[in-house]
């Protein structure tokens, strides 16, 4: 059952616990949206330039992984990491060809494994870590709080796209 209250999660500092609560709520809603999908639903394309639900789920996972690297490890992706996550991160033509033919369990496992690492990392941080700043290559400042807000924002945005695709599938049945 989804809890509709934002409150600190146990084993985290107060603000990080609240952030984790929001991340987890967002994930629970996403999981409820995709729980009954078949492989054909996950691969369905509305048109030649759209993304599939499977690709969007891989993208959600890749965004979280990349934000782990940036915020917890303070580095960019290695070539190997980019090989694994780049297609899902960038989406587009290559993703339409490559991210296919996976079961819902495949995507659920990816989402879960990356989230477990996020939670493990966050347990080791203090609230002050959220406000630590860094700069993008173009000189624009950001803090860790923003990075994790973006992870949540990205998932919510793509969940909207998933709902749209599900409606298109239903119309086509």
DSSP state of 143: E
DSSP structure string for 29-67: HHHHHHTT--HHHHH--SSTTPPPHHHHHHHHHHHHHHH
More confident residue, 5 or 40: 40
What domains can you pick out in the chain, each with its CATH number? 14-172 (1.20.120.450)
Model confidence band, residue 3 (pLDDT cutoffs 50, 70, 90): confident
| pLDDT for res 170 | 87
Above 80 in pLDDT, residue 166?
Answer: yes
Task: Give the closest residue to 9 by CA, choosing from 129, 1, 22.
Answer: 22
DSSP state of 1: -
| pLDDT for res 43 | 96
CB 39 within 8 A of CB 102: yes
- pLDDT tens profile 104-163: 999 999 999 999 999 999 999 999 999 999 998 899 999 999 999 999 999 999 999 999
Above 80 in pLDDT, residue 101?
Answer: yes
| pLDDT for res 171 | 83
3-state secondary structure of 142: strand
If phi over 0 gives left and psi between -120 and 50 gives alpha, with beta otherwise, what is residue 7? beta
- pLDDT tens profile 44-76: 999 999 999 999 999 999 999 999 999 999 999
């Amino acid at each position: 059952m989804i809890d509709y209250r934002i409150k600190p999660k146990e084993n985290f500092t107060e603000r990080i616990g609240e952030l984790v609560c929001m991340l987890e709520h967002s994930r629970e809603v996403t999981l409820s949206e995709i729980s009954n999908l078949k492989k054909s639903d996950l691969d369905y394309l509305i048109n030649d330039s759209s993304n599939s639900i499977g690709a969007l789920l891989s993208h959600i996972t890749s965004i979280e992984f990349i934000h782990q690297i940036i915020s917890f490890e303070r580095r960019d992706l290695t070539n190997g990491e980019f090989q694994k996550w780049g297609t899902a991160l960038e989406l587009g033509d290559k993703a339409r060809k490559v991210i296919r033919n996976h079961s819902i369990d495949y995507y659920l496992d990816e989402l879960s494994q990356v989230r477990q690492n996020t939670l493990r990392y966050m347990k080791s941080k203090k609230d002050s870590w959220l406000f630590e700043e860094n700069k993008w290559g173009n000189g624009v400042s950001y803090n860790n709080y923003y990075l994790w807000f973006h992870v949540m924002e990205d998932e919510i945005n793509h969940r909207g796209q998933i709902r749209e695709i599900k409606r298109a599938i239903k119309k086509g049945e």
